[in-house]
């Protein structure tokens, strides 16, 4: 574990990072282009309730601002230099700050973002009208993640519809592909923040290894993670999966409501987020402190696939080929475990491989400001990507599953495992659990 990152304060990032990101985006825009990004809505719940605000990752990447209703307008070739990069913020008033807390001042926003020209939201319609009339290309943002299920209209979507209605003759372009290209390759600063999230996750996992024993509730294990995350000023990167016994065979089990039974395995898919950059970890541990012979066989099979898949993360390889390598290795392991036969494999339907009964998902995905981060996943892997690696074997008939997951920085010199310090070997897990109180 890296103590320097574990104990680092959870503070705003340097403005130079956001300045550089905006400059990189500007270089991708064609001449005379205007780009606009909106903050996310605060999602409502029931009655007058609302969920916690989730920053718009693209807006944060370019500004470091997570405040609601914010708008970034970029027009690199605007005739007036003061109108080439504008941030519009909700103005703090005694009334809204009394109920909701502090709002960024102009001076605070300048210091955080490196932007010199900060305006209140009331000024946006006038300035936007002037600038869009001068521009030729208009780049608008949307959520183009391929796995997104979009059922609720976002602030960006409403803005797109209204802008096209009011200015129908402009040349509208998609901003998302440009931001995906930029965000996929992580800077040293970003890798450092992901590493810190990994280190806080490691600290929480060490706490859980000392806590888990027969009879504790999945919800109590979740609370142990929450304690460690919060004390380091982090949050859960995603809804935690604390799945004991057969619950682990449900891929997105999040109820965390069952007691942990003697002799069962406990699958932990849980990680921290630090300054909006996420870790993503999965471990599978024995509730009683020791794996059974069969459990260890399956565990070590998955571990071998994990090790091979980490080693296979090399620039120039396509993700679909990396996935195929993981599936071929898993196939061999399933034969050794007596779960498949070579005859079944030779006679299988190519569109429905036999191994899919036991391993039915991808072996990894991009990681960053989003847990399932944006990236150009149909293109060859590039140095600078951060990828999760998460092979698994699910055995509902035997009442357990094993999934293991580490986060890996792809470099020109080979993969760097950002979770190399988090216990992984079965014997090491057993040894650490033997020290429980």
Determine the pLDDT at residue 435.
87
Give the Å distances, CA to CA, from 153 to 50, 75, 143, 161, 237.
16, 26, 11, 10, 24
Could you identify the residue written with the tokens 């995350």?
A: 229
Neighbours of 145 (CB within 10 A): 15
Residue 437 confidence class, pLDDT cut points 50, 70, 90: low
With residue 188 as reference, give the H or E element that holds it: helix 188-209
118 strand-pairing partners: 87
Neighbours of 168 (CB within 10 A): 8
Are residues 174 and 213 located together in one domain of the fold? no
Number of domains in the chain: 2
Are residues 396 and 283 located together in one domain of the fold? yes
CATH of the domain at 256: 3.90.230.10
Determine the pLDDT at residue 11.
59
3-state secondary structure of 309: helix
Are residues 258 and 271 located together in one domain of the fold? yes
Determine the pLDDT at residue 176.
97
Q: Which of 183, 202, 217 is the last residue of a domain?
A: 183
- For residue range 205-217, what is the model confidence (pLDDT) as tens digits? 999 999 999 999 9
Are residues 72 and 210 located together in one domain of the fold? no
Are residues 179 and 192 located together in one domain of the fold? no
- Asked whether the predicted pLDDT for residue 125 surpasses 70, the reply is yes
Structure tokens at 416: 């760097």
Determine the pLDDT at residue 4.
54
Are residues 385 and 411 located together in one domain of the fold? yes
Could you identify the residue written with the tokens 């029931």?
A: 46
Are residues 233 and 150 located together in one domain of the fold? no
Spatial distance between the Cα atoms of 359 and 340, rounded to a whole number of angstroms = 12
- Give the N- to C-terminal CA distance of the chain in Å, as an integer: 22
Q: Which of 183, 204, 225 is the last residue of a domain?
A: 183
- For residue range 227-251, what is the model confidence (pLDDT) as tens digits? 999 999 999 999 999 999 999 999 9
Are residues 124 and 217 located together in one domain of the fold? no
Q: Which of 183, 205, 235 is the last residue of a domain?
A: 183
Are residues 134 and 194 located together in one domain of the fold? no
3-state secondary structure of 65: coil
Q: Detail the DSSP E strand segments found in 11-94.
A: 33-38, 71-74, 85-89
Structural domain including 59 reads 3-183
- In this prediction the pTM is 0.95
Residue 376 confidence class, pLDDT cut points 50, 70, 90: confident
Are residues 316 and 338 located together in one domain of the fold? yes
More confident residue, 285 or 12: 285
388 strand-pairing partners: 407
Are residues 85 and 141 located together in one domain of the fold? yes
3-state secondary structure of 206: helix
Residue 18 confidence class, pLDDT cut points 50, 70, 90: very high
- Asked whether the predicted pLDDT for residue 7 surpasses 70, the reply is no
CATH of the domain at 23: 3.40.350.10
- For residue range 144-163, what is the model confidence (pLDDT) as tens digits? 998 888 888 999 999 999 99
Determine the pLDDT at residue 327.
97
Spatial distance between the Cα atoms of 244 and 229, rounded to a whole number of angstroms = 21
- Average pLDDT for the chain: 95
Are residues 379 and 268 located together in one domain of the fold? yes
């Amino acid at each position: 574990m890296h103590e320097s990152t574990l104990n680092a304060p959870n503070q705003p990032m340097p403005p130079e990072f956001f300045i550089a990101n905006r400059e990189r985006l500007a270089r991708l825009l064609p001449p005379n282009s205007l780009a606009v990004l909106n903050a996310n809505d605060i999602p409502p719940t029931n009655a007058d309730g609302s969920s916690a605000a989730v920053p718009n990752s693209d807006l944060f990447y370019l500004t470091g601002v997570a405040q609601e209703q914010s708008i970034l307008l970029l027009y690199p070739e605007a005739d007036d230099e003061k109108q080439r990069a504008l941030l519009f913020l909700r103005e703090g008033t005694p009334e809204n700050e009394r109920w909701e807390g502090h709002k960024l001042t102009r001076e605070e926003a300048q210091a955080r973002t490196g932007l010199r020209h900060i305006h209140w939201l009331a000024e946006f319609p006038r300035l936007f009208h002037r600038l869009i009339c001068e521009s030729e290309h208009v780049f608008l943002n949307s959520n183009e993640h391929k796995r997104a299920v979009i059922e609720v209209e976002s602030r960006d979507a409403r803005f797109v519809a209204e802008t096209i209605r009011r200015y129908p003759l402009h040349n509208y372009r998609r901003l998302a592909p440009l931001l995906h290209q930029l965000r996929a390759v992580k800077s040293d600063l970003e890798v450092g923040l992901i590493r810190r999230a990994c280190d806080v996750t490691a600290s929480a996992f060490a706490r859980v290894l000392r806590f888990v024993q027969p009879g504790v509730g999945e919800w109590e294990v979740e609370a142990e993670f929450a304690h460690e995350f919060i004390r380091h000023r982090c949050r859960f990167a995603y809804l935690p999966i604390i799945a004991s016994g057969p619950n682990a065979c449900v891929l997105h089990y999040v109820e965390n409501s069952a007691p942990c039974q003697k002799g069962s395995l406990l699958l932990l898919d849980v990680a921290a987020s630090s300054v909006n950059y996420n870790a993503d970890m999965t471990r599978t541990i024995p509730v009683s402190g020791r794996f059974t012979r069969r459990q260890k066989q399956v565990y070590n099979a998955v571990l071998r696939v994990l090790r091979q898949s980490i080693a296979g993360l090399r620039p120039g390889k396509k993700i679909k080929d990396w996935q195929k390598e993981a599936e071929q290795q898993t196939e061999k392991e399933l034969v050794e475990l007596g779960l498949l036969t070579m005859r079944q494999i030779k006679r299988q339907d190519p569109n429905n491989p036999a191994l899919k009964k036991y391993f039915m998902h991808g072996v990894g995905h991009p990681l960053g400001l989003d847990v399932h981060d944006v990236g150009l996943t149909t293109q060859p892997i590039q140095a600078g990507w951060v990828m999760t690696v998460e092979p698994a074997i699910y055995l509902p008939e035997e009442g357990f599953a094993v999934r293991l997951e580490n986060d890996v920085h792809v470099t020109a010199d080979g993969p760097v495992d950002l979770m190399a310090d988090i216990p992984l070997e079965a014997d090491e897990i057993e040894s650490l659990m033997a020290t429980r109180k």
